[in-house]
Structure 1
Amino acid sequence: MKRKNPTQNSRKTSATTADWQSRDPNYTAEQGRYEDPVPSRALILETLAAHEGPLTVDDLIGHFGLSKLNQQSALEKRLGAMIRDGQLVQNRKGAFGPVAQMNAIAGVVQAHRDGFGFLIRDEGGQDVFLPPRQMRSLMNGDRALVRITGTDFKGRPEGSLVEVLERGSREVVGRMHVDQGIAYVIPDNPRVQQDLLIPQDATLGARHGQMVVAEIIAPPGNRTLPVGKVLEILGDHLAPGMEIEAAVRAHSLPNEFPDNVLAEAEAIPDTVQPAQIKGRVDLRDLPLVTIDGADSRDFDDAVYAKAMRKGPFGTGGGWTLWVAIADVAAYVLPDSPLDLEAAARGNSVYFPQRAIPMLPEKLSNGLCSLNPNVDRLCMVCEMRVKPDGSVAKSTFYEAVMRSQARLIYEDVAAILADPSGPEASKVPHVVPHLQALEQLFQALFKSREARGAIDFDTNETKIVFGTDRKIERIVPIKRNIAHRIIEECMVAANVESAKRVAKMKIAAPYRVHEKPDAMKVQALREFLTERGLKLGGSDRPETEDYAAMLARTKGRPDQPLIQTVMLRSLMQARYSAENLGHFGLALTHYSHFTSPIRRYPDLLLHRALKHLIHKKAPKDFIYTVDSIEKSGAHCSMTERRADEATRDVATWLKCEYMSHRVGEEYDGLVAGIAPFGLFVELSGLYVEGLIHVSQLKNDYYKFEARHHRLIGERSGMAYNLGDAVRVKVVRVNLDERKIDLELIQLKSSGSRSSKVQGSDTESRALPSNKKKRRSR
């Protein structure tokens, strides 16, 4: 770079250069790091903000009087780093200015399979919509600067690309295609919108149709596709388990433990040592049991409830509830290889017939898992529960336990339904304790209902495999009384742990679920009004208003539809260092205490509780509010990442399942509506497909987002959420994970009328005669 004589610039700005060191708030720190310090980021930003306009690197060198070449070079590198971090923008003339003053916003790009994308702002706030033309040179995960240019048809801010700050993932997983001598990879991740061109000398010998991992060696441009080279051949496209291998790599899921992590785990004794028990409460004679799914291998929690006698005049009563949780913190020490790896993973990921654990198997399925009839270290929340289901008091302590039985949900439900039946005869010693747990649950559930917690009736499914890992069927998961018992016991322990750390003012992660956005509430109100319903509360309804609405809709034919729309109006739960409460559960305090084997925030909370148990001052805790907030944001991201990966796998498997059913007809319900068509769930199959808007005959159809419907422009024919339809499977695309359906018949409408007069159109879909889906 050709630079002017800095002394010339110095003469121009001599009045402001002599004392930059005294004005720099970080100068002392810079002195400790560099022999010849340069202005800190803070001073650079302050200087640029105070100036009339952008300044070039020469202007800044002159302004600060940096006469040494190494200082000039260091300043130039710092400016480059500030651009990459989204603090500065450099204009076409090479001058620098603060992002805010240059009308630019920094963030991470999130691409959509249909060509558009969003910029997730670094500082938070409403996402910026990026139309397809702005996404041509961007890829999912890129950090970029955009400028707001207006609003889209939904009222969202719309932006244009200013600069790519940093490219995201350099690897792409996809299917190799060779067409007329040209090789390219079709990405498996639907968020990666562009195909990847592969030069002939960079295919690694991959054949047409094989799944590969490729590295991007040249990013996309406005008129060019990205170019890459094959790094790894995964195998044939339809090989058993390939969908998981692809999802692991497509979503950058850490799936192999480094050698130092495995070495640390292997060095831990296989059994609980006498020295570890010293100072702990001995609960080995307490009849604690674990209750989990039949496929579970890591057992985080064990429970036991004891009914208390009533005193004179009807006083007393209730129960003492012990919730014992695996003491992962006794083995995973802060900043150890095990800890750093667990923090990076954030959580375990569960795929059909395969899990990627947060901790090595020796800990996750062995030493930390509360397996039956072996000593295990645990953290205990002991609660005194009153007859009305409220918790009178609680205490936390470290203990050693021995699970009396490993029970599964279905067997516990059978035992409670028939205490003298065959299942009960297998474990007669725990039957009275299970009955006490059921009585306790009834009290806890009444307390839940009294505070107005939302109780959505969600439909979860399970994929049942046959030989060669081919799907035999997809079945619904039915929640029974045993599921509800464990859920309420865990919620009680989570609440008490959150109250404990909040009272002691120690930095710890909370599980927060904020109130719904006002705009989404308004849209929900309009939707409900159409169905003769009114949501209570004002613009900011309370949880009890949602619960009351759900109660009023029970028994209605459109109840599933109403529940779906209500669920979509809610915020997504996340982790935060600030206690913001949990809207869905109607709780002022909530955290995650009960699953430290598979969730990193639970481990952080255990460390905070241990700090308090050992009578240490909260201010001396190893974590700060800022570090907890940062970790919480990361774990919220890894949670979403795991959800996306497992959803991708489930979708791929369902597409593969339906690929053998092309041409068959099914009944279904409209489960989602978009400008481009209707998403239909096929009855009995629990699979979703799309009726493209072009398949809706003899009219121009328009999308009304507020009313969740498509409207025929001439006929007034309306397709609504909840409509019963008859469809035919016409196409299955495994690469795009799409199932295309053709409408055979509209059997019945989920709305009060299938025809609408005077509809208020928000956007226009393609004409029919032209070619052309929260966590507690």
Structure 2
Amino acid sequence: MNIKDKIIEFMREEAYKPLTFKELMNVLNPEGNLRKELIKTLNELEGEGKIIFTRSERYGLPEKMNLIIGTLEGHQKGYAFFRPDNKEIKDMFIPPGEMNGAMHGDRVIVKNTKLSEDMKSPEGKVIRIIERANTFIIGTYQKSRNFGFVVPDDKRISYDIFIPREDSNNAKNDTKVSVKITEWPEMRKNPEGKIVEVIGNIEDTKTHIEAILKEKKVRQFFTEDVIKEAIKVSSEEIREEEIKRRRDLRNLTIITIDGIDAKDLDDAVYVEKISDDKYKLGVHIADVTHYVKEDRKVDKEALKRATSIYLSDRVIPMLPKELSNGVCSLNPNEDKLTLSVEMIIDLDGKVVDFEIFESIIKSSYRMTYKDVSNILENNDEELINKYEKILPMLKEMEELSLILRKKREARGCIDFDFDETKIITDESGKAIDVTKYERRISNRIIEEFMLACNETVAENYYWLNMPFVYRIHEDPEDEKMYEFSKFVHNLGYTIKGSQDVHPRELQQLLEKVKGKKEETLVNTLMLRSLRKAVYSAECSNHFGLAATYYCHFTSPIRRYPDLQIHRIIKGQLNGRITEKEMDKLFERTALVAEQSSKLERIADEIERNTNKIKIAEFMSDKIGEEYEGVISGVTSFGVFVELDNTVEGLVHISNIIDDYYIYDNEKKELIGQNSRKVYKIGDVVNVKLKTVSIAKAEIDFVFI
């Protein structure tokens, strides 16, 4: 047991009462020869919020003093919600007067001021700030004669930042800036700051994209030493002894199927019907770990990024392009090192046998989703002639994918069929079109093959009792599922057992609403009622997939968890993992899971917010144009309308002038007080584009 655990365990003893440093020293280290180490450890534990150093200069555990550690989620009106680290403790409301200078995102110690057990929303006050989240803030500079203010982009930060004239960095009015906080807020006093960078004019779309990336601290560029290392490893030839120790699959007709613009091809597939009742499915994944060695410069940078970020006009990759688009990418007619999973699958979709091994392949065709779908769906003669050699395999791929899909549906996998948005940009990055992203048969083929592969790998390493990074999706919270069940009951649907609900119940509900007016509403509210999938070093069910074992194995070019488990798999295959190494790996997988989950959430938010800006840019020159749309959401402040191309805008309640409308929260409807006219989700409406704000990523319609 290390000294940190020893201290925490000692303080958890029932008889423990807060002790001074001297008293702790006498108990934990009576010889006094580890004084410096004990001071350092206590300071670290205090910094982590695991112990408290009181005003009477004594050390104790927060929970024994009615104190809780967690993170604040701010609101523009000045209050916040406190999210405890301990998930068993309820979230807490922090009134504006009890913030004690804390801001959104800060890690804090909170005292519960209302202890009633049955309170839906207990209240608290911030006692101490452990760690500041916002040392730099992105916002818009508002200039006056002798000073200025920066209005934060993040509305959860309720303060404007005061900027003395000498710290304005010659920023002009209405420019996007990055400001460093020099003085933190106090009672009735705004924070003070210094402008460290002028990002650009708020009229320019690129300024807002850049501001989002800076606000989220995205690592957009690779340092020179990382690029040098990437160039060096990517220029190395594959050694003959490396080829000899791998299984050589270069004689197989292995293909890749990706989007037409994709440059980082990390998965290739092969299917063969080996008997009347069995298929062989080979999934071959780029062996990125051969080039990216643990704790080298490229690897450390990759872990800091944890994921590639896909914007409408570019990719911010996890790995330098020399690796992601070059030596690691499974480009056609090139020898490539891979990690392969070969599965024998029966007509029920069951994997009856499998093998995981290191390999070398030479991809025969670089296929696109569009071409494969046109062959299988439309019998495109020109494409059929062009790809005549692989036509039988493509048909077998379709057969196998349908078998796998049927198996998943039978066990209750939830498949949300939302229309995804595709934004088309010109060479300068300007949005020139917005369309629906087509999810066709080829997309579903690859989806099914990757799911089968990920489940097979996860189950195998679970039973080997190896340290691993799993992809888990916890069961929904009873309270949220109860509210969702109550809502769909109003629409005439029933969910059996809203507590401990089985995913099959939700899947069947999605089938029932398919094609009906309420489909979008039910899909949206169901998704909001579920938890988010995360990475974990502990194996747990994946609720949405109705899977017992699941991981991400198939995209090591763009996801760090995949890269990490490739290392574990190769270590196990080659007998390199000792007991000592196992202990290290258990720590490593926990770190990778936490880091990857956190950065995945940030990447999702960036992609969502930048897409909104690009969509606003596309619509900005269409003021006054009329459209037919479908009501996609109803709130107390207005009606959201979605056009056929997935563009969504708001008809604000102040612009609905034919009556006074009241919001029915139970039915999610706006009802006219006099006319009894109803606006509800699924209604087809005609709208006119009234205003567009690229800066706020807002689109406003009015009803015609």
TM-score (norm 2): 0.90
1:275 aligns with 2:241: yes
- Residue 424 of structure 1: CA displacement? 2.5
Q: 1:163 to 1:721 in 2, by over 3 A?
A: farther
CA deviations 1:661-684 (Å, max 9, x no partner) are: 45555544443345x523503323
User: Which segments of 5 or more consecutive residues in structure 2 lack a partner in the other structure?
Assistant: none
Q: 1:197 to 1:731 in 2, by over 3 A?
A: farther
Residue of structure 1 equivalent to 2:264: 298
Aligned residues: 699
Q: Please say which of residues 345-354 and 102-111 is displaced more in the overlay.
A: 102-111
**Which residue identity is paired with 1:358?**
M
- Residue 66 of structure 1: CA displacement? 9.3
CA deviations 1:384-413 (Å, max 9, x no partner) are: 011222111110000001111111101111
CA deviations 1:306-355 (Å, max 9, x no partner) are: 11133xxxxxx321111000001111112222221111111111111111
Determine the C-alpha separation between the residues in 2 that align with 1:252 and 1:226. 21
SS of match in other structure, 2:63 = coil
SS of match in other structure, 2:633 = strand
Residue of structure 1 equivalent to 2:138: 173
Q: Please say which of residues 376-385 and 573-582 is displaced more in the overlay.
A: 573-582
- Residue 290 of structure 1: CA displacement? 0.6
Aligned counterpart for 1:600 among listed residues 543, 560, 563: 560
- Residue 51 of structure 1: CA displacement? 5.2
SS of match in other structure, 1:469 = coil
SS of match in other structure, 1:45 = helix
On the 8 A contact 2:631/2:683 being kept in 1, the answer is: yes
Determine the C-alpha separation between the residues in 2 that align with 1:730 and 1:640. 33
Determine the C-alpha separation between the residues in 1 that align with 2:209 and 2:224. 23
CA deviations 1:12-53 (Å, max 9, x no partner) are: xxxxxxxxxxxxx76xx69xxxxxxxx974377358x7456x
1:458 aligns with 2:390: no
Determine the C-alpha separation between the residues in 2 that align with 1:119 and 1:210. 33
Q: 1:115 to 1:426 in 2, by over 3 A?
A: farther
Residue of structure 2 equivalent to 1:221: 186
- Residue 597 of structure 1: CA displacement? 0.5
- Residue 374 of structure 1: CA displacement? 0.5
Q: Please say which of residues 102-111 and 293-302 is displaced more in the overlay.
A: 102-111
- Residue 210 of structure 1: CA displacement? 2.7
On the 8 A contact 1:666/1:682 being kept in 2, the answer is: no
Q: Please say which of residues 154-163 and 194-203 is displaced more in the overlay.
A: 154-163
- Residue 553 of structure 1: CA displacement? 2.0
Aligned counterpart for 1:328 among listed residues 280, 284, 288: 288
On the 8 A contact 1:497/1:593 being kept in 2, the answer is: yes
SS of match in other structure, 1:268 = helix
Q: 1:624 to 1:268 in 2, by over 3 A?
A: closer
Aligned counterpart for 2:160 among listed residues 195, 218, 243: 195
SS of match in other structure, 2:110 = strand
**Which residue identity is paired with 1:179?**
S
Equivalent residue runs for 1:268-667 within 5 Å: 268-270=233-235, 271-310=237-276, 317-419=277-379, 421-466=381-426, 468-537=428-497, 539-616=499-576, 619=579, 621-622=581-582, 623-662=584-623, 666-667=627-628
- Residue 637 of structure 1: CA displacement? 0.6
Q: 1:275 to 1:211 in 2, by over 3 A?
A: farther
- Residue 486 of structure 1: CA displacement? 0.3
Residue of structure 2 equivalent to 1:84: 47
Q: Please say which of residues 157-166 and 724-733 is displaced more in the overlay.
A: 724-733
**Which residue identity is paired with 2:355?**
T
Aligned counterpart for 2:67 among listed residues 104, 109, 120: 104
Q: 1:694 to 1:236 in 2, by over 3 A?
A: closer
1:118 aligns with 2:44: no
Determine the C-alpha separation between the residues in 2 that align with 1:288 and 1:399. 12
Residue of structure 1 equivalent to 2:638: 678
Q: 1:589 to 1:180 in 2, by over 3 A?
A: same
CA deviations 1:115-150 (Å, max 9, x no partner) are: 544333223344434445555833333111122344
CA deviations 1:529-551 (Å, max 9, x no partner) are: 11111113452111111111122
Determine the C-alpha separation between the residues in 1 that align with 2:400 and 2:354. 16
**Which residue identity is paired with 2:87?**
G
1:737 aligns with 2:703: no
On the 8 A contact 2:485/2:498 being kept in 1, the answer is: no
On the 8 A contact 2:469/2:561 being kept in 1, the answer is: yes
**Which residue identity is paired with 1:489?**
F
Determine the C-alpha separation between the residues in 2 that align with 1:240 and 1:162. 41
Percent of pairs identical after alignment?
Answer: 34
- Residue 233 of structure 1: CA displacement? 2.4
- Residue 580 of structure 1: CA displacement? 0.9
Q: 1:525 to 1:200 in 2, by over 3 A?
A: same
Determine the C-alpha separation between the residues in 1 that align with 2:127 and 2:677. 44
Determine the C-alpha separation between the residues in 1 that align with 2:618 and 2:78. 27
**Which residue identity is paired with 1:138?**
A
Determine the C-alpha separation between the residues in 1 that align with 2:153 and 2:258. 34
Determine the C-alpha separation between the residues in 2 that align with 1:647 and 1:599. 18
Determine the C-alpha separation between the residues in 2 that align with 1:496 and 1:64. 48
Determine the C-alpha separation between the residues in 2 that align with 1:591 and 1:334. 20
TM-score (norm 1): 0.82
**Which residue identity is paired with 2:192?**
V
Residue of structure 2 equivalent to 1:22: none
1:163 aligns with 2:131: no
Residue of structure 2 equivalent to 1:7: none
- Residue 214 of structure 1: CA displacement? 2.0
- Residue 96 of structure 1: CA displacement? 5.0
User: Which segments of 5 or more consecutive residues in structure 1 lack a partner in the other structure?
Assistant: 1-24, 31-38, 311-316, 746-776
SS of match in other structure, 1:561 = helix
**Which residue identity is paired with 1:549?**
L
- Residue 101 of structure 1: CA displacement? 2.0
Residue of structure 2 equivalent to 1:771: none
Q: 1:557 to 1:321 in 2, by over 3 A?
A: same
On the 8 A contact 2:312/2:425 being kept in 1, the answer is: no
